[in-house]
């Protein structure tokens, strides 16, 4: 949550910060602010409640000077969205300005201590406690970097920070623990950012700061130390991202663009990893854990939200293709349980951002208990990617829409490849393996076909958009698809929707069905088809409105459902990769018709780095 950016160089800083904030806005968007330093002329702060565009308007009236500055876009944790709670925050002397992403857990203790020293706080935020503490220590020691180090040693919780000081007009300081932060190295300039999208137009050379590291940036170069002042050698990496990937390219929203990118992203996810003719899968990122994969007797999968839904699909894939018992846990639950990890347990964490706090905590808990943990992650170099023992990247490029779409299908594709690989080592014959792999390779084209439903889905959305309660039903491997369809609708159109295994309906939720209630039934042709047709009959008897997602040519459902969305046939176990497409489109069009900000739904943020 929250996006931070900092810049020191020769360019007018206001534009650099604003452009960066626009790109980071998906991380949080209830208020925004900048602070710049113009030589020894003092710190210039502007903060507004609302979006980055509101800050931009404000700056048109009241610009900020300088070539050194920091900026922030907020997702409120402590203190309501207000100008006074917006970042940057200043210390009592007004010499320091700081932006922060994360949570200072012991802010109350720090505040009480500092108030006892006569310091008056202005905001309700946890962040102010940190900048006030640094300011207090700086007042005493006169050593800026050492004051930052000491303060960071004293705080509990997570932070990615950028800080500037009036007394050091050529220095930008950045540090992280638990919240992502990278340093971009340009020509005569440095940038600091929560993610690469904010700096890619300036440089692709980056250093990913590690937990407990502090970077000092200025004309003398880049110096990294730990909070204990131990020097660290900067490891420069190439940012795997292009400007084109983060622009709208003619689409009205990132979510729609990302839905349409799926044929291509799925090709990228599988490229070079499948050899259907030879019946082999090659997941380069997992070679160091070959032994553990071959010996696994039980799989434990964890993630949150959409990633958790992908894990549920994974459960079906692993049990059917690899015959390995699989359990799926919400990462947020697993971290506080006492999970049983024995020698044969292989753990897998799934995360688009690679920064989700609950998933990271679950990963650490499983590692503490001795598990080998594999990662299925999109963002290269993210914390989860770095902390797992080995992993597979999704390769779908930046996902900017808060509602996850292309990452979901890629997560399923990765899990399918791994399941086939594990199955081949166990009981799958070469020809069974080849059959699944050939079908996986054909999926991108089938997704392309499924996208042609867009117009039909739009019509449907127009008819249904005013209904406030929906059900989504599925069976077997399409039960998680129903959950995912309901989540998509909820999070961007604010329509209440519940996803269920279809047979569970009669155990309670059927009471909800009344005349015209939309019930989306994911019912491709498989061994459960007859059963789900019975469920459809039950809905019709209660005058619910059935929208069926089924396999092309399924004439039986044409006569039964109020609307039928036909997707190309594939192996039943791979069907989520196509059945999910019309559900993504349906959620998108409902949200758009309701006039919502599809890419930045209320109360949400893309990367959930708080508990
Ligand atoms: O970055 P992650 O995949 O770890 O994120 C997990 C969830 O926060 C995420 O999938 C969330 O549920 C999405 N907004 C769903 O569209």
Give one DSSP letter per residue of 234-276, joined into a string. Answer: --EEE----TGGGS-TT-S-HHHHHHHTHHHHHHHHHTTTEET
Tens of pLDDT, residues 288-326: 999 999 999 999 999 999 999 999 999 999 999 999 999
Return the closest-CA partner of residue 72 out of 36, 23, 22, 21. 21
What is the model's pLDDT at position 210? 93
Q: With bands split at pLDDT 50, 70 and 90, how would you rate the model's confidence at 55?
A: very high
CA distance 377 to 360: 12
Res 277: pLDDT = 83
- What pLDDT sits at residue 586? 98
What pLDDT digit, counting tens, does each position of 12-24 carry? 999 999 999 999 9
Q: With 80 as the cut, is the pLDDT of residue 373 above it?
A: yes
Averaged pLDDT of the chain: 95
The rounded Å distance from CA 65 to ligand 1 centre is 38
Query: Which residue has a Cα nearest atom 9 of ligand 1?
Result: 305
Identify the pLDDT of residue 27. Answer: 85
Mean pLDDT across the stretch 210-238? 95
Residue 101 has pLDDT above 90, yes or no: yes
Could you give the percent of the chain with pLDDT greater than 90?
86
**Distance from the alpha carbon of residue 356 to the mean position of ligand 1, in angstroms:** 8
Which positions are annotated as active-site residues? 2, 606
Can you tell me the distance from the alpha carbon of 154 to that of 178, in angstroms, rounded to the nearest whole number?
A: 15
Nearest of 40, 103, 96 to residue 74 by alpha carbon: 103
- Ligand 1 pocket: which of 28, 75, 253, 304 to mutate (most atoms within 8 A of CB): 304
pLDDT for 29 equals 84
What pLDDT band is residue 85 in, cutting at 50, 70 and 90?
Answer: very high
Q: Residue range 584-598: average pLDDT? A: 97
Using CA positions, which residue lies closest to atom 16 of ligand 1? 403
Using one digit for the tens of pLDDT, what is the confidence trace for 433-492? Answer: 999 999 999 999 999 999 999 999 999 999 999 999 999 999 999 999 999 999 999 999
Tokens describing residue 190: 């440095």
Cα→Cα distances 216→66, 183, 521, Å: 19, 10, 56
What is the number of the ligand 1 atom nearest to the C-alpha of 359? 4
pLDDT of residue 1: 75
Collapsed DSSP state (helix, strand, coil) of residue 310: helix
Q: In this predicted structure, what is the pLDDT of residue 26?
A: 85
Q: How many other C-beta atoms are found inside a 10 Å radius of the C-beta of residue 454?
A: 17
Instruction: Indicate which atom in ligand 1 lies nearest the CA of residue 402.
Output: 14
The whole-number pLDDT of residue 610 equals 74
What is residue 513's three-state secondary structure?
coil
List pLDDT tens digits, range 129-175: 999 999 999 999 999 999 999 999 999 999 999 999 999 999 999 99
Which ligand 1 atom is nearest residue 607's CA? 1
- 3 state SS of 500: strand
pTM above 0.85, yes or no: yes
Compute, in angstroms, the gap from residue 228 CA to the centroid of ligand 1: 34
Could you give the domains of the chain?
A: 2-239 (3.60.20.10), 249-449 (3.40.50.10490), 452-599 (3.40.50.10490)
Provide the CB-side half-sphere exposure for 281 (13 A, CA).
30
Largest CA-CA distance found in the chain, in angstroms, rounded: 80
Alpha-carbon distance 548 to 565, whole Å?
6
Residue with the larger pLDDT of the pair 382 and 404:
404
Q: Compute the distance between CA of residue 33 and CA of residue 360 in angstroms, rounded to an integer.
A: 29
Q: What is the pLDDT of residue 331?
A: 97
């Amino acid at each position: 949550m929250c996006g931070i950016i900092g810049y020191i160089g020769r360019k007018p800083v206001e534009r650099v910060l604003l452009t960066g904030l626009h790109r980071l806005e998906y991380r949080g968007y209830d208020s925004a602010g900048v602070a710049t330093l113009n030589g020894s002329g003092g710190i210039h702060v502007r903060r507004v409640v609302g979006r980055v565009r509101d800050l931009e308007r404000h700056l048109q009236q009241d610009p900020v000077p300088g070539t050194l500055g920091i900026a922030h876009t907020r997702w409120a944790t402590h203190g309501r969205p207000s100008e006074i709670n917006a970042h940057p925050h200043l210390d009592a002397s007004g010499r320091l300005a700081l932006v922060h992403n994360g949570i200072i857990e012991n802010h109350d203790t720090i505040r009480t201590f500092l108030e006892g020293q006569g310091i008056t706080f202005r905001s309700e935020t946890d962040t102010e406690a940190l900048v006030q503490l640094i300011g207090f220590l700086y007042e005493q020691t006169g050593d800026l970097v050492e004051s930052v180090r000491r303060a960071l040693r004293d705080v509990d919780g997570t932070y990615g920070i950028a800080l500037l000081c009036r007394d050091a007009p050529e220095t930008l300081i950045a540090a992280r623990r638990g919240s992502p932060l990278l340093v971009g190295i340009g020509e005569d300039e440095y940038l600091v950012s929560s993610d690469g999208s904010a700096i890619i137009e300036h440089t692709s050379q980056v250093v990913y700061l590690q937990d407990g590291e502090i970077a000092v940036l200025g004309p003398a170069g880049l110096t990294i130390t730990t909070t204990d002042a131990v020097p660290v050698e900067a490891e420069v990496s190439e940012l795997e991202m292009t400007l084109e990937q983060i622009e709208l390219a003619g689409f009205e929203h990132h979510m729609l663009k990302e839905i349409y990118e799926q044929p291509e992203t799925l090709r990228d996810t599988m490229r070079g990893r499948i050899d259907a003719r030879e019946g082999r899968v090659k997941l380069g990122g997992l070679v160091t854990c070959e032994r553990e994969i071959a010996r696994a007797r039980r799989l434990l999968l964890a993630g949150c939200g959409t990633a958790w839904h992908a894990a549920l699909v994974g459960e079906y894939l692993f049990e059917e293709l690899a015959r390995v018992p699989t359990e799926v846990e919400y990462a947020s639950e697993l971290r506080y349980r006492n999970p049983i990890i024995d020698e044969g347990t292989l753990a897998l964490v799934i995360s688009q951002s690679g920064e989700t706090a609950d998933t990271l905590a679950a990963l650490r808990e499983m590692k503490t208990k001795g598990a080998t943990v594999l990662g299925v992650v999109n963002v290269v170099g993210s914390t989860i990617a770095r902390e797992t023992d080995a992993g597979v990247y999704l390769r779908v490029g930046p996902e900017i829409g808060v509602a996850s779409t292309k990452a979901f299908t890629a997560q399923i594709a990765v899990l399918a490849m791994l399941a086939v690989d594990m199955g081949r080592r166990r009981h799958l014959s070469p020809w069974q393996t080849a059959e699944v792999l050939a079908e996986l390779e054909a999926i991108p084209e089938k997704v392309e076909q499924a996208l042609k439903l867009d117009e039909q889905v739009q019509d449907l959305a127009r008819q249904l958009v005013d209904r406030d309660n929906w059900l989504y039903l599925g069976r077997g491997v399409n039960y998680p698809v129903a959950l995912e369809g309901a989540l998509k609708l909820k999070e961007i159109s604010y329509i209440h929707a519940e996803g269920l295994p279809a047979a569970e309906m009669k155990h309670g939720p059927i009471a909800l069905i009344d005349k015209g209630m939309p019930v989306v039934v994911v019912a491709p042709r498989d061994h459960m088809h007859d059963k789900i047709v019975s469920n459809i009959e039950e809905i019709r008897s209660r005058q619910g409105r059935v929208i069926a997602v089924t396999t092309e040519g399924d004439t039986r459902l044409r006569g039964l459902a109020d609307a039928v969305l036909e997707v190309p046939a594939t192996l039943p176990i791979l069907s989520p990769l196509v059945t999910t497409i019309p559900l993504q489109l349906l959620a998108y069009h409902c949200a758009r018709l309701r006039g919502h900000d599809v890419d930045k739904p209320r109360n949400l943020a893309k990367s959930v780095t708080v508990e």
